[in-house]
Amino acid sequence: MSPTRHNNNLPNPNSWTISTDLDGMDLDPSDFGSSIPLKKVPNGDVFEASRAGDVDRLKYLLESGVNVNARDQWDSVALYYACLAGHLDAARMLLESGAICSEHTFDGDRCHYAALNLKVRKLLKAFEARPPPLGPLQAALRDTFLACAGNREYSDHPDYGVSSNGGSSSYHFPPDVVFVVQGSPIEAHRVILSARSPFFKRKFETDWKDRKEVRFAREKLSYTALYSLIHFFYSDRLEIAVDDMEDLVRICKVCKCDSLQRILEKELIHQKFAEYKALRDVDNSQKRFILQGLSLPEEDRLPAALHQILQISLANSTREHNQDNNVEELSYNVGAMQINDVVDDLADVCVRVDKNIFRCHQVVLASRSEYFRARLSRMKDFYEGKDALPVDALPCLDEHDLRTEAFEKMIEYMYTDGLKDIDPDQAEEMFDAASRYLLFPLKRAVADVLLPHLEMASPAELCHWLILSDMYGVFKIREYCLDTIACNFETFADTLEFRAMLLTLPPPSGDSSLRTTAPSAPGAVVNTDQANLLDDLREKWLEAEAAELDKRDESALLFDKRLEMLVLVAEREKSDGAPADDIHDGCKSPVSPPTSFPMPSKQEERV
């Protein structure tokens, strides 16, 4: 099954949020709890928090962006302390934030040796076997890189090769430049390299401007080192054999990747001393060094680099509303003008949204969105591919039904994984764009931004969001709304909008076999996408309000009747049109439905 089956409501497997299923690990949830009360270190750093097992402090520190793989003055990483002290939950939190535990790395080996007990070791093993935690942007670009035929051979990680976009798309986006080093090819995309390295940027503007293939004849240039570096450019994750590190430092010097070079040099010195500390019999050729993007200064990470590229592109994009001009003409003029004047953004595609033209990069669009991938490669037979474009003009994609602001936000997310200044009013547009362009991580990002705003939302607005989130499949928002409605059911029942909404929803399933009267296990995955909203609402309501187990069926029956009644009321309101006000007024006084039918509540039961 393709992992995307649950994409719209479950975390994307590559995005690495905390998930409850740790396959292949027979650790009980109870293992994570601690038997003794843990010390709190409210002002401690990440090392102290890990050593003490102070999960709250640790969570706060990690969310504030501390480098999880940093070493302290005793050469130890935070994970080392957590393993040493046997704090499973702290260790897991660190691992989920990208702490390195791979074998043959200095820190990874130390953590394995230091693991207090078998449980800790099992946890480390389980995380070692998983794909590295990467952001959606990094994961998508890495997939694009690894899918290039020339690169696949070298990649010895079978799990990396699996396309995260599901089995149906074995297609990959083709590279636009090939480097040949020591006889082996490395395929890459100009814009990524330019974004990450001033050296490549300059070269692509000058010497290599029109070349598809660049051959390096110098013997000294190491293929594995360059491959690691380019892989790093795409994924913000560097994995390299210690033996190759000196080569890589030299390459970094040429490529002007200063911060990376500094870290590597420091690490090289450290490796020399590390030999005394590590086990002697570890073969040097096996030793690896892994660097997460987090260890770099923020401005040197992939999102920042692409953000810069995006800024340049946007600056070059025309935003003038040349209403008089024929649209066709405009695109041609613009295309020609852009090619002649501007080259420093390396844009290779234009997107026209609402009469504005955005200069973009095919590789980013195609990596992030399956829609664009199809659009950029398989349009021959459609109208869009009918006219051969002038050779010197950029291909231009027309996107309708989309507002410029939403598109801008969207491409910002596509380039940087970041989402700034989302207005709740804009959220709906963003959901639409995310769904339409199959950018499922964006939905979650928007949801995260939106969620704080919902706390202040009125019941009417919540109804609105419930409908929207159900439509766009935004699991998080939908759950939130349902929870709120279930807990405050009577308040909602009083609102006109809620009743009006009931009319638009499909009726609850009459099939009683679908009703689960037993409380569902916490955390169990319910396939909510196809589920009926009202069914889910009943579940929530039962969880919140219902009586003891043996009375659940009765409670459910009561709820169904109440719903029926509300629907009747809503229908009457709709046909009358006017009486809505009456009901609305009634809101202030206790509800008085036509037939008095008090809702049982827990309090009443107990009385």
Partner 1 sequence: MSGQKKKNFQIEAFKHRVMVDPKYAEKTWKILEHAIQEIYNHNASGLSFEELYRNAYNMVLHKFGEKLYSGLVTTMTSHLSDISKSIEAAQGELFLEELNRKWLDHNKALQMIRDILMYMDRTFIPSTHKTPVHELGLNLWRDVVIHSSKTQIRLQDTLLELVHRERNGEVINRGLMRSIIKMLMDLGSSVYQDDFEQHFLEVSANFYGLESQQYIESCDCGDYLKKAERRLNEEMERVSHYLDARSLEKITNVVEKEMIENHMHRLVHMENSGLVNMLVNDKYDDLGRKYNLFRRVANGGLLIVRDVMTSYIRDTGKQLVTDPERLKDPVDFVQRLLDLKDKYDKIISLAFNNDKTFQNALNSSFEYFINLNARSPEFISLFVDDKLRKGLKGVSEEDVEVVLDKVMMLFRYLQEKDVFEKYYKQHLAKRLLAGKTVSDDAERSLIVKLKTECGYQFTSKLEGMFTDMKTSQDTMQGFHESLGAELGDSPSLTVQVLTTGSWPTQPSATCNLPAEILGVCEKFRSYYLGTHTGRRLSWQTNMGTADLKAIFGKGQKHELNVSTYQMCVLMLFNNADRLSYKEIEQATEIPASDLKRCLQSLACARVKSVLRKEPIGRDIAEDDNFSVNDKFSSKLYKVRISTVAAQRESEPENQETRQRVEEDRKPQIEAAIVRIMKSRRVLDHNNIVAEVIKQLQSRFLPNPVVIKKRIESLIEREFLERDKNDRKLYRYLA
The distance between the two most distant Cα atoms of the chain, rounded to a whole number of Å, is 90
Query: Cβ closer to partner 1: 45 or 529?
Result: 529
- The yes or no reply on residue 382 touching partner 1 (CB under 8 A) is yes
- The region of 2-10, 42-50, 214-222, 309-317 touching partner 1 under the rule CB under 8 A is 2-10
SS (H, E, C) 520-558: CCCCCCCCCCCCCHHHHHHHHHHHHHCCCHHHHHHHHHH
Query: Cβ closer to partner 1: 206 or 530?
Result: 530
Query: Cβ closer to partner 1: 191 or 434?
Result: 434
Query: Cβ closer to partner 1: 75 or 529?
Result: 529
Whether 376 contacts 366, CB under 8 Å: yes
Closest CA to 124 of 95, 161, 160, 89: 95
Task: List residues bridging with 77 in a β-sheet.
Answer: 71
- What pairing do the DSSP bridges indicate for beta strands 237-241 and 288-292? antiparallel
In whole angstroms, the minimum distance from the beta carbon of 68 to partner 1 comes to 33
Query: Cβ closer to partner 1: 103 or 399?
Result: 399
SS (H, E, C) 235-269: HCEEEEEHHHHHHHHHHHHHHCCHHHHHHHHHHHH
Of the residues 153, 383, 420, 421, which one makes contact with partner 1 according to CB under 8 A:
383
In whole angstroms, the minimum distance from the beta carbon of 602 to partner 1 comes to 31
- The region of 35-43, 215-223, 246-254, 375-383 touching partner 1 under the rule CB under 8 A is 375-383
- The yes or no reply on residue 585 touching partner 1 (CB under 8 A) is no
**Separation between Cα atoms, residue 319 and residue 351, nearest integer Å:** 12
Among positions 281-340, residues that touch partner 1 (CB under 8 A) are none
- The region of 87-95, 310-318, 509-517, 572-580 touching partner 1 under the rule CB under 8 A is 572-580
- The yes or no reply on residue 404 touching partner 1 (CB under 8 A) is no
Query: Cβ closer to partner 1: 392 or 576?
Result: 576
Whether 357 contacts 408, CB under 8 Å: no
Task: List residues bridging with 359 in a β-sheet.
Answer: 350
Binding to partner 1 by CB under 8 A, coded x per residue (else -) over 54-93, reads ----------------------------------------
Query: Cβ closer to partner 1: 187 or 573?
Result: 573
In whole angstroms, the minimum distance from the beta carbon of 166 to partner 1 comes to 8
* Count of helices and strands (H, E) across the chain: 30, 8
**Separation between Cα atoms, residue 500 and residue 362, nearest integer Å:** 45
- Count residues near partner 1 (CB under 8 A): 55
- The yes or no reply on residue 254 touching partner 1 (CB under 8 A) is no
Is 328 buried (19+), middle (13-18) or exposed (0-12) by CB count in 10 A?
A: exposed
**Separation between Cα atoms, residue 116 and residue 525, nearest integer Å:** 33
- The yes or no reply on residue 577 touching partner 1 (CB under 8 A) is yes
Of the residues 4, 12, 222, 469, which one makes contact with partner 1 according to CB under 8 A:
4
In whole angstroms, the minimum distance from the beta carbon of 513 to partner 1 comes to 18
Task: List Cβ neighbours of 234 (8 Å cut-off, separation of 6 or more).
Answer: 138, 141, 142, 144, 145, 192, 302
In whole angstroms, the minimum distance from the beta carbon of 458 to partner 1 comes to 8
Of the residues 399, 405, 479, 553, which one makes contact with partner 1 according to CB under 8 A:
399
Task: List residues bridging with 397 in a β-sheet.
Answer: 351
- The yes or no reply on residue 397 touching partner 1 (CB under 8 A) is yes
Of the residues 159, 219, 381, 421, which one makes contact with partner 1 according to CB under 8 A:
381
In whole angstroms, the minimum distance from the beta carbon of 248 to partner 1 comes to 39
Distances (CA, A) of 214 to 210, 239, 434: 10, 24, 37
Place of tokens 């609102």: 495
**Cα 60 to the chain's mean position, in Å?**
20
Closest CA to 228 of 170, 290, 172, 276: 290
Among positions 6-45, residues that touch partner 1 (CB under 8 A) are 6-8
In whole angstroms, the minimum distance from the beta carbon of 429 to partner 1 comes to 7
In whole angstroms, the minimum distance from the beta carbon of 192 to partner 1 comes to 25
Question: In 10 A of CB 304, how many CB atoms?
Answer: 16
**Separation between Cα atoms, residue 202 and residue 419, nearest integer Å:** 30
Whether 397 contacts 350, CB under 8 Å: yes
In whole angstroms, the minimum distance from the beta carbon of 459 to partner 1 comes to 10
Whether 398 contacts 383, CB under 8 Å: no
In whole angstroms, the minimum distance from the beta carbon of 394 to partner 1 comes to 17
> Can you spell out the DSSP letters for 285-348?
GG-EEEEEGGGS-GGGSHHHHHHHHHHHHHHHS-----TTS-HHHHHHHHHHHHHHH--TT---
In whole angstroms, the minimum distance from the beta carbon of 395 to partner 1 comes to 13
In whole angstroms, the minimum distance from the beta carbon of 5 to partner 1 comes to 4
In whole angstroms, the minimum distance from the beta carbon of 435 to partner 1 comes to 7
Of the residues 527, 564, 572, 582, which one makes contact with partner 1 according to CB under 8 A:
527
Q: What angle do CA 502, 505, 509 make, to 5 degrees?
A: 105
- Helical (H) or strand (E) element with 95: helix 88-96
Query: Cβ closer to partner 1: 218 or 400?
Result: 400
Determine phi and psi for 77, rounding to 5 degrees. Answer: -95, 165
| Token pair in block for residue 107 | 């820190």
Query: Cβ closer to partner 1: 265 or 399?
Result: 399
Query: Cβ closer to partner 1: 7 or 197?
Result: 7
- The yes or no reply on residue 108 touching partner 1 (CB under 8 A) is no
Among positions 419-478, residues that touch partner 1 (CB under 8 A) are 428-429, 432, 435-436, 438, 458, 460-461, 463-464, 467-468, 471-473
- The region of 199-207, 219-227, 325-333, 391-399 touching partner 1 under the rule CB under 8 A is 391-399
**Separation between Cα atoms, residue 474 and residue 109, nearest integer Å:** 40
Of the residues 78, 134, 238, 501, which one makes contact with partner 1 according to CB under 8 A:
501
Of the residues 17, 19, 117, 168, which one makes contact with partner 1 according to CB under 8 A:
168
- The region of 57-65, 114-122, 142-150, 370-378 touching partner 1 under the rule CB under 8 A is 370-378
Q: Which residues bind to partner 1, rule: CB under 8 A?
A: 1-2, 4-8, 166, 168, 370-371, 374-375, 378-379, 381-386, 397-401, 428-429, 432, 435-436, 438, 458, 460-461, 463-464, 467-468, 471-473, 496-497, 500-501, 504, 527, 529-530, 577-578, 580-581, 584
